[in-house]
């Protein structure tokens, strides 16, 4: 189903979105365009692509390059924004495993540069994107923001991503406490939808592409591990409301769906919704990931804190998202995107 479009504002805002050519970022751009805002996107296009923004034409400003370099080039009115969203980051387990050094540097250094920029240029409300990976492996199935984080050993590269996103959160909270920067941090849980590709291990687009090609859907382990998948269009709709809520400043909160589905059930649903002739193939983790890779059996967010600040319900159910991802794949739009 289609969600209600955002209502254009009487007083449009000037908005900076880092990582705005990526999957979540480009949908956030769409949302703010409909709100009538003036937008600048900064993206190095390492996992995003300018084609995600092409439908906006000159309506959206776009600066391609290293985030720190672009920020340093801005001055005066060009450096003043009413809102900032920082979504530029290394994403996906596969990318982290292939390039841990680049991922660590991106997630730590660029977040610090972004927060410092915001502080020096008017301290506008600033959003920092984090991840459910921050929870690590706490041995529970429902994750709440005040739960302890438990990580594996530093010899397991997978946990480097969780550490860097946790440092991002510490930085954001410190900028808020020490300098009064109005900052909100959101831990995303398995955001899915059109424009997301399976290149870096994202399970839903990988399943959808296999189903469209009539190839087996590869399910790792026994397939009984569960996740909660939230449509990106529902996710980006709540972010502006958080930045407009002063009570949320200085808070970390979960953002996602709290409806669980096992990975084997997800594979079955994809095959059913797309009328595919594909089968399901079980694959041992040892065949798909390096030795020592650890996966979580269950991951579900507690959304109590989020809903205490803003209204949040779902306009898209998973079957809607599956069909929309398939339509995107069949349109060929992803071909120009490379590994975004």
* Residues belonging to the active site: 161
Residues 6+ apart with CB under 8 A from 258: 228, 300, 301, 302, 303
CA distance readout (Å), 185 to 10, 116, 117, 257, 316: 27, 16, 17, 17, 23
Hunting for tokens 């730590």 — which residue is that?
A: 108
Cβ-contact 269, 320 below 8 angstroms: no
Q: Quick one: tokens of 216?
A: 């087996």
Residue 295: other Cβ atoms inside 10 A: 15
* Helix runs in the chain, H state only: 23-34, 67-73, 93-98, 100-120, 158-179, 203-213, 232-243, 263-274, 285-288, 304-309, 318-331
CA dihedral 126, 340, 131, 156 (to 10 degrees): -140
Partners of 228 in beta bridges:
260
CA 240, CA 23: separation in Å to the nearest integer?
17
Q: Is 108 exposed, middle or buried (0-12, 13-18, 19+ CB in 10 A)?
A: middle
DSSP single-letter state for residue 152: -
Cβ-contact 271, 198 below 8 angstroms: no
The dihedral sign for the CA sequence 105, 106, 110, 111: negative
Residue 94: other Cβ atoms inside 10 A: 16
Measure CA of the first residue to CA of the last residue in the chain; give whole Å.
26
């Amino acid at each position: 189903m289609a969600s209600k479009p955002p209502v254009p504002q009487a007083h449009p805002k000037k908005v900076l979105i880092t990582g705005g050519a990526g999957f979540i970022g480009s949908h956030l751009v769409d949302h703010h365009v409909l709100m009538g805002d003036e937008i600048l996107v900064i993206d190095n296009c390492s996992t995003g692509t300018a084609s995600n923004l092409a439908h906006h034409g000159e309506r959206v400003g776009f600066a391609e390059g290293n985030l720190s370099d672009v920020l340093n080039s801005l001055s005066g009115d060009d450096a003043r924004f009413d809102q900032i969203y920082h979504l530029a980051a290394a994403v996906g387990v596969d990318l982290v495993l292939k390039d841990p050094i680049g991922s660590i540097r991106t997630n730590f250094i660029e977040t610090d540069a972004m927060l410092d920029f915001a502080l020096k240029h008017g301290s506008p409300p600033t959003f920092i994107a984090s991840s459910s990976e921050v929870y690590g492996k706490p041995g529970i199935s429902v994750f709440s923001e005040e739960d302890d984080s438990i990580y594996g050993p530093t010899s397991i590269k997978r946990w480097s991503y969780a550490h860097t996103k946790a440092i991002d959160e510490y930085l954001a909270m410190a900028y808020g406490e020490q300098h009064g920067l109005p900052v909100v941090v959101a831990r995303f849980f398995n955001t899915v939808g059109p424009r997301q590709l399976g290149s870096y291990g994202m399970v839903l687009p990988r399943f959808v592409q296999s189903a469209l090609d009539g190839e087996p859907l590869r399910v790792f382990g026994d397939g009984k591990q569960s996740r909660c998948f939230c449509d990106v269009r529902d996710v980006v709709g709540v972010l502006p409301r958080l930045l407009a809520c002063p009570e949320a400043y200085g808070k970390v909160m979960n953002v996602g769906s709290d409806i669980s589905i096992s990975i084997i059930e997800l594979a079955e649903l994809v095959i059913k919704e797309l009328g595919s002739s594909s089968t399901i193939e079980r694959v041992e983790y040892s065949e798909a990931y390096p030795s020592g890779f650890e996966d979580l059996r269950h991951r579900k967010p507690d959304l109590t804190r989020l809903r205490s600040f803003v209204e949040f319900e779902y306009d898209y159910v998973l079957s809607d998202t599956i069909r929309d991802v398939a339509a995107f794949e069949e349109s060929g739009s992803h071909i120009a995107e490379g590994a975004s």
